[in-house]
Amino acid sequence: MKMLVVFEKKERLRHVSHLDLMRAMQRALRRSGVPIAFSQGFNPHLLVTFAAPLSVGMPGLREVMEVPLSAEISEEEFKEKLRAALPPELPCVAVRAVEDRHPAPMAQLFAAGYQITVQEHVEEILAAIPSLLAKENVMALKKTKSGEKLTDIRPMIYEIKRLDESRFECVLALCEAATCKVELLMDALAAEAGLEARPRYLAVRTQLLGKDFIPLELL
């Protein structure tokens, strides 16, 4: 049996790196007393996998991890035990028990939703959204292992929706085949608005999505 765990990484912890977060979660699982599976080998460790690492500096509202178990446990009991073992800044939002053969969340990941608060040049950036969406191609300089590459990110932008006078929501591609980071979108919006540099902003990852934009944990 495996447990899909949805958790929140609050703003206060936005600088905690993915590696540190993984260690924190492993320790939380250890102290929770839930029956967790260890890897075999010289340095046994917990077999926990995360759907997608969060960039340093970004909080996440509905992050997903998969926890293989060594014994059966009910969703309610698992959730209660884990909840008690997590700090207030890292709460467990939901859990779902699945079969061992259930595909890994990481393999089903397709896109992610973000909420962005623009902190500089707010009007210009928000005004640039409709014109950016009207474009057929949006070229952006994407950093890859082999250097920088000019890429059309327009197909990776699924949605941008203005929320109020300083915030907007967007859905961007996040999978092995294509990923558009928030900073690329912000670069494109800044360019569209005629700004020289990317303005300051705070991005929150609101959810992780699978095919047909269904939340990952429900697939």
Partner 1 sequence: MKVFSADRLERLLDTVLKPSRYTGGEMNAVIKPFDQADVTFAFCFPDSYEVGMSHLGIKILYDIINRQPWALCERAFMPWPDMADAMRKEDLPLFSIESRTPLDRFDIVGFTLQYEMSYTNVLEMLDLAGIPLYSRDRQNGPIIMAGGPCAYNPEPLAPFVDVFQIGDGEEMMVEAIACVRKCKQEGLSRLDTLRALAKIEGIYVPAFYQASYNNDGTLAAFAPIDDAAPAVVRKRIVRDLDSAAYPEAFVVPYTEAIHDRIVLEIMRGCTKGCRFCQAGMLYRPVRERSLETLLSQAEKLENATGYEEMSLSSLSSGDYTHLTELVCALTERYAERKISVSLPSMRIDSFVKQSLEEAQKVRKSGLTLAPEAGTQRMRDVINKGVTEEDLIRAVTDAFESGWSTVKLYFMIGLPTETDEDLQGIGNLARDVINAYFTVPRSQRAKGLRVTCSASTFVPKPFTPFQWQGQDELPQIREKQARLGDILHQVKGVNFNWHEPELSMLEACFARGDRRMADVLYAAWKNGCRMDGWTEFLNYEGWMKAFQDCHVDPAFYANRVRGEKELLPWDFIDAGVTKAFLWREWQKALRAEVTPDCRKGCQGCGLKRFEGVCVDR
Least Cβ distance, residue 26 to partner 1 (angstroms)? 7
43 binding partner 1? (CB under 8 A): yes
Rg, C-alpha atoms of the chain: 19
Compute the distance between CA of residue 20 and CA of residue 209 in angstroms, rounded to an integer: 24
User: Could you write out the DSSP letters of every residue in 14-73?
Assistant: TTS-HHHHHHHHHHHHHHHT--BPBPPSSS--B--EESSPPPTT--EEEEEEEEEBSS--
**Contact between residue 106 and residue 49 where contact means Cβ atoms under 8 Å apart:** yes
Least Cβ distance, residue 13 to partner 1 (angstroms)? 5
Least Cβ distance, residue 87 to partner 1 (angstroms)? 4
| Burial degree of 101 (CB within 10 A; 0-12, 13-18, 19+) | exposed
Considering only residues 4-23, where is the footprint of partner 1 by CB under 8 A?
10, 12-13, 15-17, 20-21, 23
Least Cβ distance, residue 141 to partner 1 (angstroms)? 21
Site string for partner 1, 55-84 (x = CB under 8 A): --x---------------------------
Least Cβ distance, residue 110 to partner 1 (angstroms)? 29
26 binding partner 1? (CB under 8 A): yes
Residue keyed to tokens 């905690």:
16
Considering only residues 78-137, where is the footprint of partner 1 by CB under 8 A?
85-90
How many beta carbons lie within 10 A of that of residue 55, not counting itself?
15
30 binding partner 1? (CB under 8 A): yes
Sign of CA dihedral 86, 89, 93, 99: negative
**Interacting residues with partner 1 (CB under 8 A):** 10, 12-13, 15-17, 20-21, 23-24, 26-33, 38, 43-45, 57, 85-90, 200
